[in-house]
Structure 1
């Protein structure tokens, strides 16, 4: 009987565990905001005037962020501040977080405010650094350190020094 309970627990744990970033995004996101890949963002970042919005918490942003990203946060997201800073509701916006879950929620808030050209960075800052693209600290110096959000989510961050 004890072996049976252990087997059931093992099956339960392994069947609910996400095996890839795709699995995580399928589980937590509704795909209401279209994705942009890190490769696509890297290609357009230099040419186009895309607005990068960081939907993580202040301590995460301070450790590292994408170049020229604007901090908007998640818990303390302010619709009023966004509309003041970015009055053009047609300008391209890419929202990111650690993996792409919180950024989808912020993207939905932007849609409700009337913004029309929003994309969610697939895999977030983790996927960005996993592709060896640069991130910058609070003094805008390139860094190898990324806030890993928590131990559970940190397994998706491969090519950076993890900070909690």
Structure 2
């Protein structure tokens, strides 16, 4: 993955960068070539799509969506997805903390020929903010939510914020 993008992203966060709303934040960082799916829409799906967690393992272990497959961000490899999900028509929803890293991963999936990929708008933070369950590494419902960083934790309104 493009580590430079990620480090620039972190620098903005660490320097006190702020946005008043999530829509502006996502518009600033995302290519928006992959459609969003919203939490309420995902929750209503009769047939659950495959969920891919595009955060780092420490984040995933604290909190993730039920049945999500950890794919990471810094060490993401499309070859791993192609082995796990050979059918390029499979419905896939990618998420991260807010929807920025997941946009990058979703774009990589699209470039690899996956044609039914969506990015979860607001990602796990928005999921938790809607009082929906997240799971620990032991696959138990937890109130903990990995908040990524102090700067980005302002987007987490529900749950117990955990940091590395």
What SS is found at the alignment partner of 2:151?
A: helix
**Does 1:147 pair with 2:146?**
yes
Q: How far apart are the structure 1 equivalents of 2:57 and 2:79?
A: 18
- TM superposition score normalised by structure 1: 0.88
State the match for 1:34 in structure 2.
35
- TM superposition score normalised by structure 2: 0.88
State the match for 1:6 in structure 2.
none
Structure 1 ranges of 4+ moved more than 4 A: none
State the match for 1:113 in structure 2.
112
Alignment of 1:86-125 (within 5 A): 86-125=85-124
Q: How far apart are the structure 2 equivalents of 1:42 and 1:53?
A: 15
1:35-93 Cα offsets, whole Å, 9 max, x none, are: 0000000000xx21410000000000000100000000000101111100000100100
Q: Which has the larger radius of gyration?
A: 1
Q: How many residues align?
A: 149
What SS is found at the alignment partner of 1:76?
A: coil
* Structure 2 residue ranges without an equivalent (≥5): 1-14
Q: How far apart are the structure 2 equivalents of 1:91 and 1:82?
A: 12
Task: Please give the root-mean-square deviation of Cα atoms over the aligned residues, in Å.
Answer: 1.4
* Structure 1 residue ranges without an equivalent (≥5): 1-12
